Structure 1
């Protein structure tokens, strides 16, 4: 392991994903080895299965991997926030822990971020777009409907905010307001901060093992108050233009 400070932190929130830990960690390393200096940070959000043991096993093989554990489950958004806070790298790539996001997409997302003018990178979000989703028909329909409603209300012009594959600066994320389920609104929150969003098509795969922690009904029930809250945040935002500093 090199002593060079990492440029990129790959953050992965997990809850009861023991069957997916080793395969995904291996894929992350295979995708990034020799292309960028990176670290991998897993946050175990109060798992009750063998996730802690599998993370310990993975750390024996992959020194770049670090893990943090929530004693009690606090939700995916808080797990992501914990991982970003723990990161040493200034740039963050986010993946879901179920294996459906493909780590092989990260290098192209990184190149797209680097292609942006340096003065705008700090407030740029690269958002994955699952153009060919490998989910059930009911989940695809629910996601399509939710995306249409969200775009109409928030004007975030993002076709797929639910995709876990995202890349952004650590400072941008840490400057955002945090609340439960905020990870679903990162494009709108980026625009609220005066930034921009670029959507890129990414690979999507069937779940590796285990079962989803979410259902369509649960997503819908929490989605309405979340959407109203983000609409309020968007209306109340102000982004000053600083001209002189001494």
Structure 2
């Protein structure tokens, strides 16, 4: 039986989180409503994460990995994973486990009718600074993208792989997934999910990369929106 759903997990210096991540993913794969596999993308980690991921994947048939030669950023990790994925559906999960894989089950009922279904961390379990910076960054993105998503940065999403593969490569890609699906004239859906405090490791985000970086990325998005090419075939012969 072929896999139907690929769970993409970008990883950057998360060696402390990996044992629990592997445990939670293995547990979910046994109960998932769709036959699922995992694709871990190490984004040039320097703490041993890449070696741990490679070893684990060699021992587990439903786990695969891509290992970058240096740190390219989460947008690059996601784009590489989109290009590599072969299943009809794919999902995105952060390695810090502030969202849990079982909540993909909350999104699956809607994916047939939408291009992308994303989580909404309505009850955030983050520090005050992180919540404020995320809320500010989200407001800026909504101003530019008009996607009207409460929680654009939520790291739990599912989408049709065919649409994901048509998203152009750019830094900060992860912040604009709903907007990029809207560019393809597909509808998006937001569903309330659970959110958990970070237990291991350190957050890679601060006010600078949650606000200033996304602000610059918004201008890139405006250019892409103006220049984006999309098409559908009426027929194909030969």
Map of 1:81-92 to 2, 5 A cutoff?
A: 81-92=79-90
Partner of 1:16: 13
Equivalent residue number for residue 25 of structure 1: 22
Two-structure CA RMSD over aligned residues (Å):
1.9
> Residues 60, 239 of structure 1: CA spacing in aligned structure 2 closer, same or farther, 3 A cutoff?
closer
Deviations 1:139-176 (A, max 9, x none): 11111122222212221111111111010111111111
Return 179-188 or 236-245, whichever deviates more.
Answer: 236-245
1:203-243 C-alpha deviation (Å, 9 max, x unpaired): 11111311122211123221222111212222344655655
SS at match of 1:33: helix
- The 1:199/1:140 distance shift into structure 2, 3 A limit, reads same
Q: 1-side partners of 2:48 and 2:233: how far apart?
A: 50
Structure 2, unmatched stretches of 5+, are none
Residues 41 and 239 of structure 1, relative CA distance in 2, 3 Å threshold: closer
Cα deviation code 1:86-125 (max 9, x no counterpart): 22212101001111111110122122214x2xxxx5xx11
Q: CA deviation at 1:32?
A: 3.4
Question: TM-score, normalised on structure 1?
Answer: 0.89
**Cα distance 1:93–1:241, how it changes in 2: closer, same or farther (>3 A)?**
closer
TM-score, scaled to structure 2: 0.91
Task: Determine the C-alpha separation between the residues in 2 that align with 1:87 and 1:21.
Answer: 22
Q: Which moved more, 1:24-33 or 1:84-93?
A: 24-33
The answer to whether 1:212 aligns with 2:209 is no
Aligned-partner SS, 2:150: coil
Contact 1:39 / 1:89 at 8 angstroms: preserved in 2? no
Alignment partners' CA distance in 2, 1:188 and 1:94: 16
Map 1:80-119 onto structure 2 (within 5 A): 80-114=78-112, 116=113
CA distance in 2, matches of 1:175, 1:84: 9
Provide the residue aligned with 1:162 in structure 2.
153
Structure 1 CA distance for aligned equivalents of residues 67 and 55 of structure 2: 15
1:50-199 equivalences in 2 (<5 Å): 50-59=48-57, 62-114=60-112, 116=113, 121=114, 124-199=115-190
Which of 13, 38, 41 aligns to 1:40? It is 38
Unpaired segments ≥5 residues, structure 1: none
Q: How many residues align?
A: 236
Contact 1:8/1:39 (8 A) holds in 2: yes
